[in-house]
Amino acid sequence: MKTGHRFFLLLACLASPPSAAHADWQATEKVQTYAITGQSGPELYASIGERGPKLGPTRAIAHTSFKLTWSRKYEAQGDACVLVSARPKLAITYTLPKPASSLAGVTRDHWETFIGGVHKHELVHGDFIKAMVKNIEAVTVGLTVPADPQCRKIKTEMTKRLGALSNAQRQQSRDFDRAELSDGGNIHQLILDLVNGG
């Protein structure tokens, strides 16, 4: 089993009023849960394996997904096209397991340590996503494409740049998961502590 992350990159090219090249913005972040059962560490972990979100052929403990849209303003300057502003709207969702019934004693303590660590792990994925959006701003706002008075070529050029940034962020997340789930990694240790009772 692994932690996971899903990506929904929606790039809407919408007209927007003039704004600063890199306007302040804030991501919307929320946590949603899926129910698991059990009254011991092994039972809880087994339930995660049965009910966790499916990512490809495997199930994950948790995952981070996002929806990203943009309001962009293009401007013809002579025979060139310039992206003069771009404002992102980013919504991040963290999906985590939650016991369906209250836990008691030592199991509760182990669960709280486990879920706290898993949540912290997913927040790092959220940070990677926010950093990607800032990188998109940096490489696209002010982009100028010559011989494009109808502002068509600029969108093709932007798609190339956005694809590279998206792929880099996915690889960064995969590398982070691999390190955290490897022997001795943080998530691996959290799993062992939950299943073995600390």
Token reading at 149: 């008075």
- What pLDDT score does 196 carry? 93
d(CA 162, CA 135): 9
Instruction: Assess contact for 68 and 19: CB atoms under 8 A.
Output: no
Q: Which helix (H) or strand (E) is 70 found in, with range?
A: strand 58-77
- What pLDDT score does 77 carry? 94
What are the residue ranges spanned by the domains of the chain? Answer: 2-196
- The number of residues in the chain equals 198
Pick from 119, 141, 116, 108: nearest CA to 41: 108
* pLDDT tens per residue, range 107-117: 999 999 999 99
Give me the sign of the Cα torsion angle 135, 137, 142, 145. positive
- What pLDDT score does 23 carry? 55
Q: Which residues partner with 97 through β-bridges?
A: 34
User: What is the maximum span of the chain, computed from C-alpha positions, in angstroms?
Assistant: 72
From first to last of its 198 residues, the chain has per-residue pLDDT tens of: 444 444 333 333 233 333 344 558 999 999 999 999 999 999 999 999 999 999 888 899 999 999 999 999 999 999 999 999 999 999 999 999 999 999 999 999 999 999 999 999 999 999 999 999 999 999 999 999 999 999 999 999 999 889 999 999 999 999 999 999 999 999 999 999 999 985
d(CA 83, CA 22): 12
- What pLDDT score does 121 carry? 98
Which residues, in sequence order, are CB contacts of 45 under 8 Å at separation 6+?
A: 38, 191, 194, 195
Tell the residue number behind the tokens 């011991």, with chain if given.
Answer: 40
- What pLDDT score does 198 carry? 55
- What pLDDT score does 56 carry? 85
* pLDDT tens per residue, range 34-66: 999 999 999 999 999 999 999 888 899 999 999
Pick from 32, 13, 117: nearest CA to 74: 13
